[in-house]
Amino acid sequence: MRDQAKAGTRSVGGQVRTDTVWHQQQFSVGFEYPVVFTSGLFAPENPVLVDVLCRLEKTRQHRCIVFVDEGVLAARPTLPAEIDAYARHHSERIALVVEPVAVPGGEKIKIELHFVEAMQRKLFDHRIDRHSYVIAIGGGAMLDAVGLVAATTHRGIRHIRIPTTVLSQNDSGVGVKNGVNLYEQKNFVGTFAPPFAVLNDLDFIEALSPRDKISGMAEAVKVALIRDREFFEWLERNADDLVTFKRPAMATMIRRCAELHMRQIAKGGDPFETGSARPLDFGHWAAHRLETLTKYHLRHGEAVAIGIALDTRYSVLAGLLDAKAEERVRFLLDHLGFRLWHAALEKQMPNGRHAVLEGLREFREHLGGELTITLLSDIGVGVEVHEMDKAKVLQSIAWLKERAAG
Ligand SMILES: NC(=O)c1ccc[n+]([C@@H]2O[C@H](COP(=O)([O-])OP(=O)(O)OC[C@H]3O[C@@H](n4cnc5c(N)ncnc54)[C@H](O)[C@@H]3O)[C@@H](O)[C@H]2O)c1
Ligand SMILES: [Zn+2]
């Protein structure tokens, strides 16, 4: 408690009240979690997982439940056996309470809320307590749903994320947010809950479809554009290696992008986004809306690439950004294999309004407060604005259409 209780406070209206006691309760909690980049995570001789489990209690046998994304399982059917062999090899420290549990991957797990309840039921059935571990192996969507389960069951169970897509390794998995979709709104229900640890294994990326390998690169372009010109230029120079998924280039792209996201969370001053800004969400107001409008046929990263192209064009129209810089952004996104147009950009609502524009309202409402959109004033330099001119947004959409046709 910072202040002594103050009796008889005077309100803004000036009236003195003697029946009001105002305590200013205050404390702060530090957060710390390892983010590890490795390969062969479940090779018995790899100590990373067991070291992480023993981070707080060195000598205990730790009870774990593992959820695995079905998409990962389809690509790597031997995974449950590998996990089982790892746990047996380290049986003094790890006890799997049940065989790895398969759950749907992709947006399906975030849309159909019964999956959340089914996972909670598993935690109940297997007596998972606050000192046990919920381990999630999967893409960003699955991690978001399991993260919510871990954060809300018993008001928070230790949660280890093992991201398996480019996007979840370079962005979503290393952060502090989870959530599921409701009422056709992305992440309407969710919490801010830092994980216990994040373990990125590059081997998982090899099994990923080319579409998902490319999709996740949108977040690297995004964060480079608003934070790190040098990284953008690195992406330009290495685009050939990235489109052919060369391992060293993929590893560097993922790590650099993850580090920039981590730095924003740790040093940006607002890890739990209590202000009105969403500093890392460049291109996202349109992206989230496009994901919903296309009923998730567009991947998050694909929608983000379109959102980036849109807001970059808007930045030019608003007089903030040089058209030559925009050319470079478009060229890089094209080169990486993104299609920078989707017919949903033109979708109209029954009242004749452009459906995508609703994204601005949803974006503002998600945080509350003033609308805050990040635009570009240069490559590597994001700027915040609090208003978007609808005519210029529509002009930007028309421009994207024209360029896609040409
Ligand atoms: N919490 C956050 O801060 C945050 C940030 C950005 C994005 N997100 C969310 O992340 C989600 C997108 O995540 P994503 O791009 O990782 O896609 P995704 O989770 O939708 O996965 C895409 C597909 O790949 C499959 N898959 C996953 N790993 C695989 C592997 N190694 N091999 C083969 N198939 C595999 C999945 O089953 C799924 O079918 C969206 O819901 C988005 O809202 C969250
Ligand atoms: Zn994103």
pLDDT > 90? residue 12: no
3-state secondary structure of 63: strand
Angle at the Cα of 170 (from 87 to 315), degrees rounded to 5?
A: 165
Q: Are 320 and 387 in contact (CB under 8 A)?
A: no
* pLDDT digit string, tens, across residues 186-211: 899 999 999 999 999 999 999 999 99
Rounded Cα distance, 287 and 293, in Å: 10
Q: Count other Cβ atoms within 10 Å, centred on residue 64.
A: 24
Name the pLDDT band for 11 (thresholds 50, 70, 90).
Answer: low
Mean pLDDT of 332-336: 98
pLDDT > 80? residue 367: no
3-state secondary structure string, 205-240?
A: HHCCCHHHHHHCHHHHHHHHHHHCHHHHHHHHHCHH
Residue 166 alpha carbon to ligand 1 centre in Å:
8
Mean pLDDT of 10-36: 86
**What six digits make up the tokens of 367?**
């945080």
Q: What pLDDT, on a 0 to 100 scale, did the predictor assign at position 296?
A: 92
* Burial (CB count within 10 angstroms: exposed 0-12, middle 13-18, buried 19+), residue 312: buried
Average pLDDT value for the chain: 94
Rounded Cα distance, 342 and 293, in Å: 10
Mean pLDDT of 107-123: 97
Residue 321 alpha carbon to ligand 2 centre in Å:
22
Say which residue, 5 or 221, is predicted with more confidence.
Answer: 221
62-66, 185-189, 330-334, 357-361: least confident range:
357-361
pTM for the complete prediction? 0.94
Query: Helices in 321-377 by DSSP H: which ranges?
Result: 323-336, 358-367
Q: What pLDDT, on a 0 to 100 scale, did the predictor assign at position 15?
A: 74
* pLDDT digit string, tens, across residues 373-399: 999 999 999 999 999 999 999 999 999
Q: What pLDDT, on a 0 to 100 scale, did the predictor assign at position 369?
A: 75
Which are the contacts of 329, defined by CB distance < 8 A and separation ≥ 6? Answer: 221, 225, 308, 309, 312, 379
Name the pLDDT band for 362 (thresholds 50, 70, 90).
Answer: confident
Backbone angles phi, psi at 63, to 5 degrees: -85, 130
Percentage of residues of the chain with pLDDT beyond 70: 96
Closest-CA residue, ligand 1 atom 41, reads 141
Residues in contact with ligand 1 by the CB-under-6-Å rule are 69-72, 75, 105-107, 110, 138-142, 144, 164-165, 167-168, 171-172, 175, 177-178, 186, 204, 207-208, 212, 215-216, 299-301
Residue 167 alpha carbon to ligand 1 centre in Å:
7
Q: What pLDDT, on a 0 to 100 scale, did the predictor assign at position 1?
A: 47
- Ligand 1 pocket mutation, candidates 78, 103, 144, criterion most atoms within 8 A of CB: 144
Residue 289 alpha carbon to ligand 2 centre in Å:
12
- 50: region left, alpha or beta (phi > 0 left; psi from -120 to 50 alpha): alpha
Q: Specify the long-range contacts of residues 233-236, CB closer than 8 Å, at least 24 apart.
A: 235/332, 236/328, 236/332
pLDDT > 90? residue 276: no
Nearest CA to 196 out of 330, 308, 78, 54 is that of 54
Q: What pLDDT, on a 0 to 100 scale, did the predictor assign at position 274?
A: 79
Partnered with residue 375 across adjacent β-strands are 383
Name the pLDDT band for 5 (thresholds 50, 70, 90).
Answer: low
- Ligand 1 pocket mutation, candidates 68, 107, 149, 167, criterion most atoms within 8 A of CB: 167
Q: Nearest ligand, CA of residue 165? A: 1
